[in-house]
Structure 1
Amino acid sequence: MEKLQRQLAKIRNLLDVTFFRVLLFLIIGFILYVAMFSNVKPEKLNLNLFSVATEAIRSPVTVSDQESTEKKREAAESQVKDVYVLKKEINENRVDLVTSIFDSAAEVVKEAEAEVISEDSGVENEDAPVIEPPTVEEKVTMLKERLTEDVAKDVSDTTFTSLVSSSASQLSIAKDLTVTAINNVMSNRIPADEVENGKKRVEEELKFTNLENGLRNAVIELGRYAIMQNEFFDVNATQELRQQAREGVEPAKILQGQIIVEENQLINPEIYRQLELVGLLDSENSLLPFLGLFLVIGLMILAVYYYFNDLNVRRETKQNYLLLFSIIFILSIGILKGISYINIGYSEIGYVYPVAMGAMLLKIMIDERIAFIWTVIVALCASIIFNEGITSSLNMNVGIYILCSGIAGILFLNKKNQRSKILQAGLFISLINLVVIFALGFMQNAHYNALDYTFYISAALISGIISAVLTIGFLPFFEAGFGILSTMRLIELSNPNHPLLRKILTEASGTYHHSVMVANLSESACEAIGANGLLARVGCYYHDIGKTNRPQFFIENQMNIENPHDRLPPQTSKNIIIAHATDGAEILRKHKMPKEIVDIAEQHHGTTLLKFFYHKAKESGLDVEEKDYRYPGPKAQTKETAIIGIADSVEAAVRSMTSPTPEQIEGLVRNIIADRLQDGQLNECDLTLKELEIVANTFCETLKGIFHSRIEYPEMTKQKVKQA
């Protein structure tokens, strides 16, 4: 492991050089390109017209088929029948025309009868001229004069003769019969090619009327004359319907994954045209898929680069994180590609991929932001790699599944001290996997059989549980190899048999007891605000290791001995007290302790003022400055270190009190926190005021429990006196 750490340290040092950082990103990009190259590479098909396909060929893309669309539109347009409209006004006009003919004939007959009556009733006058009644020819002429020229020309003189030769009553009956017959026939549609049939129908109706032969023939001719076309082609309406039919046709598309030609099927001209349309006949010369893959990978790399460039941590930590991310990412892509080669008859084999492994590892060891970025990138890669054998396509089901699975793992591990819940996270991820799988299937109206259900349930469980198992398995190796302080390492350091802890216990037992008390306070406070309680406890065990150099100069170790500071000048005492922080850091570095533990020992006092010796020097008349009696720092950089510093002061102050009451403890705790705030000791860590309130309440509760046996209330004292 030490050899591995040395090798990783060399690589991390190389990453400090811009060239090698860029080289690392190029390597990651190259690996991604190689992993997805075959999934976007267009198929090379040697197909000829009228040849037989040796395998089923699917479309790699979704394209619009304009030619098929136009054929469908033309077919739909041809199905539209011509629109003909019935013009009822023609019927009315023809009836009116025939009626006017009969009315005119009746008027002529009436006038002729009137002249005859006038002649018969006149007084004999030898000198008066003789008036002859109008002849039939004259009546016909009178009738024609009352009609239009067209009617007079179109209707025969025989018909006119029959009309003017009939009586008024006969004409009335004939008119009614003729109008009725015309209405009966022309109430129906009569297109141009049915006019003669209409004339025959009206003739049939009038043929058997009880009219004398001459008048019957006349009404038949007038009936036939009245019948004409009343249904006409409507150009505008027809064109509108045809346009609607065209617009109602959905554009024809060749869908991605659609089978264009079946195995052993003859490639006819239509199939050949579709193959050409989707680009399967000229795929050897197409560079667009490779350009698209290059752009996608470029965006992925830029996202990762932006994250690490924007990461506000120390240079060494950033290098560590970058190398850690790269290893996990390359490992994940390798597993992803390996799974894609498994062929068990299900295109969704990607459902078994343990995506949450990488997401949880990055969340635990770095932060959730990079875990989200990693999840999105892997989901996109998976949608390309698991493209169901269709080049240049995306498997959105697998992509969405992996995205949801990774996010579920990140959200479940919402605190840094949740590592013990990794197995629970695996079960939670399995549940989310199941929901996502069936949600996607049901939205696509998929129908599953028992075998399908077995596969999908198994895949969801395998993905979630294996993710948790691999996370637990890889976590110690990554943490040890990259110097990340793991839970297992912290537990090892908390062992009382550790050489440094035995050193504190044997050489400064009071300091050891003090450290244990501070550990109890710090751990409970850190856990209350979501910080790393175990780190705080172990850090407390070692935070005063520097006191072992001069244990008798610290009050907790002065049992039954005189305080040596009473005989020393304030300047010397100050130097001894301040040195324990720097001495402790040196001892811990010498023993190769984790950096987090070293930082706690070095920073737990920050730049606080040694008030006792400062005031002692002032009272002695020495010309001193406040800065000379402050710890060198640095100030606390993390929540855990800040809480340990407060707990250290609180425990020492409460221990110095005689029979402290709960009120006194609470007042003391809040005064110390307020003093730290006012002195600016918490300015460089991210503790919030709300978290400080929680810390104060937790300290009070813990101290009340610790010092409960030493607290005597006034009421209890009075009772003891009475009993005595």
Structure 2
Amino acid sequence: MRILEKLGLGQKTRKSSPNIGKKKQQKLKEAEKKKIKYLRILIFSVFVISILITLPQTSFQPVASYTVGEPWRSDDLTAPFTFSLKKSSAELEEERQEIRQSTPPVFHADQNAIVSIDARIDSVNRTLQPVLDNYLQWQRAKLNSESSAADDSSRFFQERRFSGLDLSEEAWNTILNDYETKQLESSNQTLLIEQILSNVRNIATELLNRGIIDRIKSNIEQDEIIVRNLVDRTERTINLERTFDPNEALEYADSQLQRSLNNRAAEVGFEIFSKIIEPNYIYSEEDTETILSERLNNIATTKGAVEQGEIIIRKGDIVTSERANMLESLAEARAITASDHEKLLRFLGESIVIIAAALVFLFYIYLYRLNIFNNPSMFLLVFIVMGLFILGSAAIYQVESVNSYIVPIAVAPIILTIIFDSRVGLTATITMAMITGVIHDNSFEYLIATTVACSLGVFSVRDIKNRSQFFFTTPGVVMGSYLFVLGGFALTRYTGLDQFSTDVLFVVINSIFILFTYPLILLIEKLFKITTDFTLLELGDTNLPLMKKLMNEAPGTFHHSLQVANLAESAASEIGANGLLCRVGAMYHDIGKMDKPAYFIENQNKTNDHDKLKPKMSALVIKNHVSEGVKIAKDHNLPNVLIEFIKTHHGTSLIKYFYGKAQNQKETIPEEDFRYDGPIPYTKEQGILLLADGVEAASRAMKDPNYSKLENLINRLIDDNINDGQLSNCPLTFKHIQTIKNSFLNILVGVYHSRIEYPEDKKKRESEEKAKKEEKNKAPDENSSSSDEDKSGDEKSEE
């Protein structure tokens, strides 16, 4: 290596390596920039193309927009060609209802019903005969006083039970008494049961020939039914009155039996009939629905025609429902008859307007929000949020039964305001209002209502402090804005508030949907790893476990952090920075001191552990609280934005006290060993925290602080940080610096204002001063270092 250096090659080799590295880094940066550029183009293109694809294609705007009940503001409209006049929705619904009422239900004829009933009657006769025989045998044994009478009785009841004939006791008695009488008397008369079954058979046959349906007639609206014989493949339409339903069949059978038989026999016959009868016309829901669907599909959607040259509406005429129907018919006729050239021109015109609106938002992001433009994930997030609600609005617009105001367009700009700022939300509002206005047939009313409601929704969340403000205030503001604007348009109509009443319901639903913004934001935070004010509000709670741990293990540091939080929040609010972010960042900036709390002055009592260490080691312990704080923050899953506060709250500043102590001990140690590792702050909020941290610690160590001392201290500390380059990367101006100084001064003067000294306090203070003097006289060397520390507040703050 020495030979190469002598030849001059070693030096060149060492110099060429960094150049090669820089070139590679430059190429990588250029490649990364190209990648981000193409990614932005892709995201924006997908956003625009998705909207253009969902543009309504089924309608064709008839010259000008209109509202039913308002005057026609355009010139006289004449039919450009002959077109059919379509029926109104009410007329079509009336025809559909008539078809539903007039379409007869379809029943399938059961050809086997008569055969089945005959078989049941024969089965009753066969089943009944053994019961009658056993009954007769029992009665004879009983009459002759035979010993087998008891067994015959048991056999009879067993046979009756096993017969399965579920007849009443009265019916059994009637049948058995008649059988016993005629058998014992050897009468040639026909048995009563045979008469009953014969009558039942005849009545059932008669009813089935006329037809028994399996539905109650009162539930059938039609006067006729269609009966299909699937075996013979025949179909006939018969009058419903010619048939019987189950109830009518029973009533008819009862009356016929009463006419043919005596009362008791008729009752037995009715019981048997009710158990064997069944409908032979079975309702077919499938066939009925098929016929109904065919008839509904064949409804003509037009009535008459409007001849070419006929006046449709004149300027100033009120747009009635009839004229509106003519205008809609013209629009549909144009959509059907429009040439490909006309459709292309219409689509091209809408596309130009939508692309222009989208470009306005893109240029705003490029010119004024480079942090979004240069960050692909944030760029994607913005257009995903906007695109989802625009596409939702386009989809709902094509559903005739749903009002377009049900779509919560305001959610998108509200989300963007909470994540970024109100200017991004307001620009998104204007862009989305223009695009959705075009989608809604260039509706001026929709454009104005959306713009006003979304803008006021953005203003309501620009400085959100708690969830109740979001859950109650924002939905109320959006709903009130919609109602206010729509009410104004309603007053300009001549038909009263009919349309306004319809819109109110959907506006209320729209406002309820805004409550889903909160879970959407939580989802976005997880997916895109961003931190919103909602998360900061949660982390700002001092009852959280990490804050409680800091309070218990390092109470002085905890109190110091709260004081720094007050200073930082006030200063940030004064210059228009994020005060909430400053406050929460200040609360967590010193959590690394929990590792070795006794080495920091605010947590010490009488002893100082640094007295046992060399200056370099003390500096390492002091510096370590930054890296330890980052580790603790990551272990507790704190957002990255707070971790950056921990890293930058000292920047690369010099630990002056121990550096001076090392110099006094004549140690040759590089200054870099006594500087924090950084990085230096690069946002307004981080710069404010760095200044607030040093000022608070130094002012706390100051003896008898007053306005003049505090002012000099603040000016000196902030100027030292500026001269040391700690704020070089911060977007803080000189005006901001002056405002921050004034804010710090006002708060510290309020904190350290003079108080009335009571007599007992005065005596206590004098005795303490006397004791200190005596102790100092006894051991001057031991306390010299501590008295030196009291001379410089900013040096004490480093511990």
Q: TM-score, normalised by structure 2?
A: 0.53
Name the CA shift for 1:496/1:14 in 2 (closer, same or farther; >3 Å).
farther
Change in CA separation of 1:396 and 1:492 when aligned onto 2, cut-off 3 Å:
closer
Shift of the 52–476 alpha-carbon distance from structure 1 to 2, 3 Å rule, reads: closer
2:375 partner SS: helix
Among residues 570, 581, 589, which one is paired with 1:543 in the alignment? 589
2:420 is equivalent to residue 366 of structure 1: yes
Which residue identity lines up with residue 363 of structure 1 in the other structure?
T
Which residue is 2:352 aligned to? 295
- Kept after mapping to 2: 8 A contact 1:360/1:371: yes
The equivalent of 1:661 in structure 2 is: 706
Aligned-partner Cα distance in 2 for 1:712–1:659: 11
CA contact (8 A) 2:490 2:500 kept: no
Is the 1:40–1:289 contact (alpha carbons within 8 Å) kept by the matching residues of 2?
Answer: no
C-alpha displacement of 1:602:
0.5
Partner residue, 2:457 = 409
Residue in 2 that maps onto 1:253: none
Kept in 1, the 8 Å contact 2:357–2:434? The answer is no
5+ residue gaps, structure 1, are: 1-12, 57-261, 388-393
Corresponding position: 1:333 with 2:390: yes
Q: Distance in 2 between matches of 1:723 and 1:42?
A: 89
Per-residue deviation at 1:395? 1.6
1:24 equivalenced with 2:78 (yes/no): no
- The structure with the larger Rg is 1
CA contact (8 A) 1:41 1:290 kept: no
1:365 Cα deviation (Å)? Answer: 0.6
Letter paired with 1:370: V
Distance 1:585 1:526 in 2: 23
Q: Is the 8 A contact 1:636 1:642 kept in 2?
A: yes
Aligned residues: 489
Distance 1:397 1:689 in 2: 47
How does 1:24-43 map onto structure 2 within 5 Å? 24-38=43-57
Residue 428 of structure 1 is matched in structure 2 by 477
Deviation at 1:399, TM superposition (A): 1.7
Mark the CA change 1:313 to 1:299 in structure 2 (over 3 Å): closer, same or farther: closer
Deviation sequence 1:69-128 (CA, Å, 0-9, x none) = xxxxxxxxxxxxxxxxxxxxxxxxxxxxxxxxxxxxxxxxxxxxxxxxxxxxxxxxxxxx
Name the residue aligned to 1:486. 532
Aligned letter for 1:399?
L
Q: Counterparts of 1:67-78 in structure 2 under 5 Å?
A: none
Equivalent residue for 2:339, pick from 279, 283, 302: 283
**1:428-451 Cα distance to aligned partner (Å, 9 max, x none):** 344443443344456xx4224243
Q: Is the 8 A contact 1:536 1:640 kept in 2?
A: yes
Q: Does residue 1:645 correspond to 2:664, yes or no?
A: no
Contact 1:535-1:640 within 8 A present in 2 as well: yes
Structure 1 distance, partners of 2:81, 2:385, is: 49
Cα 1:538–1:377 shift into 2, 3 Å: closer
Residue 451 (1) aligns with residue 502 (2): no
Matched, 1:597 2:642: yes
Q: Distance in 1 between matches of 2:621 and 2:82?
A: 98
CA distance in 1, matches of 2:617, 2:427: 55
SS for the counterpart of 1:270 is coil
* 1:451 aligned partner, one-letter code: D
CA distance in 1, matches of 2:549, 2:43: 45
1:252-263 correspondence runs (5 A) = none
| Superposition deviation, residue 362 in structure 1 | 0.7
Match of 1:612 in 2: 657
Q: Which residue identity is paired with 1:539? A: G
* Residues 511-542 of structure 1: CA deviation (Å, up to 9, x unaligned): 23322332333334444555444433332232
| Whole-angstrom CA distance in 2 between matches of 1:406 and 1:695 | 34
Q: Structure 1 residue 589: deviation in Å?
A: 2.9
1:620-699 maps to which residues of 2 (within 5 A)?
Answer: 620-622=665-667, 626=671, 628-699=673-744
What is the one-letter code of the residue matched to 2:51? L
> Aligned match of 1:399 in 441, 444, 447?
447
Contact 2:681 2:726 (8 Å CA) reproduced: yes
Q: SS at the partner of 1:427? A: helix
Matched, 1:323 2:372: no
- Is the contact made by 2:453 and 2:482 (CA closer than 8 Å) also made in structure 1? yes
Alignment of 1:198-597 (within 5 A): 264-271=303-310, 281-286=337-342, 287-309=344-366, 318-343=375-400, 349-387=403-441, 394-415=442-463, 421-422=469-470, 423-440=472-489, 445-456=492-503, 463=510, 465-466=511-512, 468-495=514-541, 498=544, 500-564=546-610, 566-597=611-642
The 8 Å contact of residues 542 and 601 in structure 1, kept in 2 or not, is answered as yes
Amino acid at match of 2:501: T
Kept after mapping to 2: 8 A contact 1:36/1:384: no
CA distance in 2, matches of 1:434, 1:577: 60
| Contact preservation (8 Å) 2:571, 2:744 | yes
Instruction: Note the alpha carbon deviations across 1:464-497, whole angstroms, 9 max, x for none.
Output: x346424344333323332222344334434556
Q: 3-state SS of the aligned residue for 1:355?
A: coil
Using the alignment, how far apart are the partners of 1:364 and 1:491 within structure 2?
Answer: 12
- 1:159 maps to which residue? none
1:717 deviation in Å? 7.8
Deviations 1:499-519 (A, max 9, x none): 544553454343233223323
Unaligned runs of 5+ residues in structure 2 are 1-31, 63-78, 89-300, 314-329, 767-799
- State percent identity of aligned pairs: 30
- State the Cα distance separating 1:691 from its structure 2 match: 4.6
- CA spacing shift, 1:488–1:523, aligned 2, 3 Å: same
Residue 716 of structure 1: how far off its partner (Å)? 6.9
Pick which of 576-585 and 621-630 moved more: 621-630
Hey, what's the Cα distance between the residues in 1 that align with 2:765 and 2:717?
39
Shift of 1:360: 1.4
TM-score (norm 1): 0.58
> CA distance change for structure 1 residues 494 and 683 in 2, over 3 Å: closer, same or farther?
same
Separation in 1 of the partners of 2:561 and 2:81?
87
Residue 643 (structure 1) shift: 2.4
